[in-house]
Amino acid sequence: MEQFANRKNIIGGIILLVGLIFIVRLFFLQVVNSTYKLSAESNTRRMEIVYPARGLIYDRNGILIAHNLPSYDLKIAPYELEEFDTAQLCEILNIDIQKLRDEIKRVKQNRNERFNPIIKQLSPETFGKLKERQYKYPGFYFSIRTLRKYKREIASHILGYVGEVDSNDIKRDPYYELGDYYGVTGVEYEYEKFLRGEKGRKYKLIDVHGREKGSYKDGKFDTDAVLGRNIVLTIDADLQEYGETLMKNYCGSIVAIEPNTGEVLALVSAPSYNPSLLVGREREKNYKILDSDTLEPLFNYSTQALYPPGSTFKPVNALTALQENAVSTSTTYYCDLGYYARGVKIGCHSHPSPLDLEHAIQHSCNAYFCNLFRKIIEDPDFGGVEAAYLNWRGHLVSMGFSKPLGIDLPFEKGGFIPLPSYYDRYYGSGRWKALTIISMAIGQGEVLTTPLQIANLAAIIANRGYYYTPHLVKHIERIDTIDSKFTTKHVVSIDTSYFKVVVDGMDKAVNVSGGTALIARHREIVICGKTGTAQNPHGIDHSVFMAFAPKDNPQIAVSVYVEHGEWGSSYAAPIASLMIEKYLTDTIAPYRKWIEKRMLESNLLKVE
């Protein structure tokens, strides 16, 4: 009997021990550990994201360019759905019945999709129609978003557009979730973190059917959305619009910069497009149309197109030669309708001869600059062509060539100024000379630049030797200063004293008989400019011009490229002079209206 009593005690002890373990475990789960409590609560509450409105975008004069309009996403609570007039709803939404059925099926079958929209970006008009009839569609509800709206249909390449994030965007920045929107290009992309604001959160009580029953714990865990910050651009909206009007029948660009700040006054890429096309439910369809257009309206010719600079490059070689004492301002060279040396021939147009440096710039003499370039590259002080070439190239790099300038736009190109190794591959080390690369004397051959870089060159000459990185944003709300890289002064490697002869030569090119840019002359404004012709291996050459004005205390520096325009004086120079006049006087003088009329009525878009 004692044996059975011991067994009874052991079994009783085991039962008590197991019971105690269960009691402790239940206490831990129910009191100490809140995981299961929160899990249960998660089935009774719904978290909704509150999307902030993006920051507004203004021009330098306070003109509103981009703002927001409300947009509405249509969602469903699957268990609240009842029979409804499908045809009528599809008519309101402007979609086909099958698409609506597929979207409802998607949400019903996937619990993770239950709070995602079935139709995105409804317009206020569509929302209004549906809201009036919402009682007919139980289980349908809305969330509010905003879409961009443009006061003026301009500056598409500056502004960029907003699109939906993908999985790669979410990996790069965990702020984003599927269904969010972000800036894809332009200022919208570069300043996304300022423009987007901060999302808020609202927690709602729901029943087992997904129906809202009020705020969760009286909003204790809710957070408010923070509006995006407003941005003031450096551009002048009126000047931008005028530039786009001038370029409507051309392919090319206009870049205008305020020299003493680096602020971009206008950045025109042509052909352009209406920024409203890439907003809302039609964005994807319109993007495909624009992307397939052979004129490439989505391409930013101002910052991404690479061209030979042509004769606008001659002032660069003049400054470098002066800095290295290869020539002086009084050095003269003859021109017999071109440059001839050891089988090399580069033609030139008829003009007085011989010429000194100032008048060589005025008349854009090819022979002068070929002689000058040879003096730079074959300078015996450097002990060899490669060292002299590297020194020459170093001066160009100090002026912002062969690298992106750093404008606050994505995908800027840096141009191309070859390293000696480039020529070594083609000709062999030590087997190339100045005559091998003589085309670079007049901005042809291997040298490639962007229109932005040529506008910056005009600003450097206007400033007599320095520049600020070109930029498009002047002020960000609640931020004291813009990025310091845009307020840092870049002093080039050319002494200030050498700029006078170049400025005087560019003055004569526009304002003295025989100059190559007389078409750009203005009676009240002293414009200094330099024409260029960018060789085009695929057809008619491109028309190029750079300028600044006034000569003293310059307020604007400009570059213009017109593809297939041939001579710089044909299209680029008159367009640049009109931009300068418009900015400085806010009008076009009656005696110059014929120039404006010709630019507006000409059409080179079909020229091959």
Torsion of CA 179, 185, 189, 190, to 10 degrees: 170
pLDDT band at 133 (very low <50, low <70, confident <90, very high): confident
Res 23: pLDDT: 75
How confident is the model over 128-156, as a mean pLDDT? 86
Tens digit of pLDDT for each residue in 469-495? 999 999 999 998 899 999 999 999 999
Higher-pLDDT residue of 155 and 606 is 155
* Cβ-count burial 249-269 (b if 16+ within 10 Å, e if not): bbbbbbbbbbbbbbbbbbbbb
CATH 3.40.710.10 residue ranges in the chain?
237-286+302-601
Q: What is the mean pLDDT of the chain?
A: 89
Tell how strand 344-347 and strand 338-341 pair up. Answer: antiparallel
Least confident of 13-17, 142-146, 183-187, 565-569: 13-17
How confident is the model over 287-303, as a mean pLDDT? 96
Which tokens hold the place of 385? 């062509």
Closest to 159 measured CA to CA, from 168, 150, 146:
150
Beta-bridge partner residues of 534: 542
CB of 515 within 8 A of CB of 508? yes
Within 8 A by CB and 6+ apart from 354, the residues are 332, 333, 334, 335
Residue 309 DSSP label: -
CATH 3.90.1310.10 residue ranges in the chain?
46-77+95-233
Tell how strand 140-150 and strand 64-76 pair up. Answer: antiparallel
What CATH fold (topology level) applies to the domain 237-286+302-601?
Beta-lactamase (3.40.710)
CB of 571 within 8 A of CB of 565? yes
Measured CA angle at 601 (ends 596, 606), to 5 deg: 130
Amino acid at 395: H
Higher-pLDDT residue of 7 and 432 is 432
The half-sphere exposure of 186 on its side-chain side, counting CA atoms within 13 A, is: 24
CB of 410 within 8 A of CB of 303? no
**Distance between CA 577 and CA 598 in Å, rounded?**
13
How confident is the model over 447-473, as a mean pLDDT? 98
Res 347: pLDDT: 93
Tell how strand 231-233 and strand 212-215 pair up. Answer: unpaired
**Distance between CA 75 and CA 142 in Å, rounded?**
6
Higher-pLDDT residue of 32 and 559 is 559
pLDDT > 70: percent of the chain: 91
Radius of gyration of the chain (CA): 34
The angle, 0 to 180 degrees and rounded to 10, between the axes of the packed helices 124-132 and 86-93 is 160
**Distance between CA 397 and CA 320 in Å, rounded?**
12
Within 8 A by CB and 6+ apart from 322, the residues are 328, 329, 357, 494, 498, 501
Q: Which of 14-18, 203-207, 222-226, 528-532 has the highest mean pLDDT?
A: 528-532
**Distance between CA 126 and CA 113 in Å, rounded?**
23
Higher-pLDDT residue of 240 and 71 is 240
Strand ranges (DSSP E) for 77-168?
119-122, 140-150, 162-164
Residue 153 DSSP label: S
Helix intervals (H) in 28-123:
35-42, 86-93, 97-109
Q: Does residue 42 surpass a pLDDT of 80?
A: no
Least confident of 120-134, 386-400, 462-476: 120-134
Amino acid at 386: E
Q: Classify 157 as helix, strand or coil.
A: helix
**Distance between CA 227 and CA 199 in Å, rounded?**
9
**Distance between CA 557 and CA 549 in Å, rounded?**
7
pLDDT band at 129 (very low <50, low <70, confident <90, very high): confident
Res 66: pLDDT: 96
pLDDT band at 38 (very low <50, low <70, confident <90, very high): very low
Amino acid at 89: L
Q: Does residue 65 surpass a pLDDT of 90?
A: yes
How confident is the model over 153-164, as a mean pLDDT? 95
Tens digit of pLDDT for each residue in 189-244? 999 999 999 988 888 776 655 556 677 777 778 888 899 999 999 999 999 999 99
What is the distance in angstroms between the CA of the first residue and the CA of the last residue of the chain? Answer: 115
**Distance between CA 581 and CA 227 in Å, rounded?**
39
pLDDT > 90: percent of the chain: 66
Res 35: pLDDT: 46
**Distance between CA 182 and CA 272 in Å, rounded?**
22
Torsion of CA 205, 207, 208, 211, to 10 degrees: -100
Closest to 113 measured CA to CA, from 73, 164, 82:
73
CB of 517 within 8 A of CB of 574? no
What CATH fold (topology level) applies to the domain 46-77+95-233?
Penicillin-binding protein 2a (Domain 2) (3.90.1310)
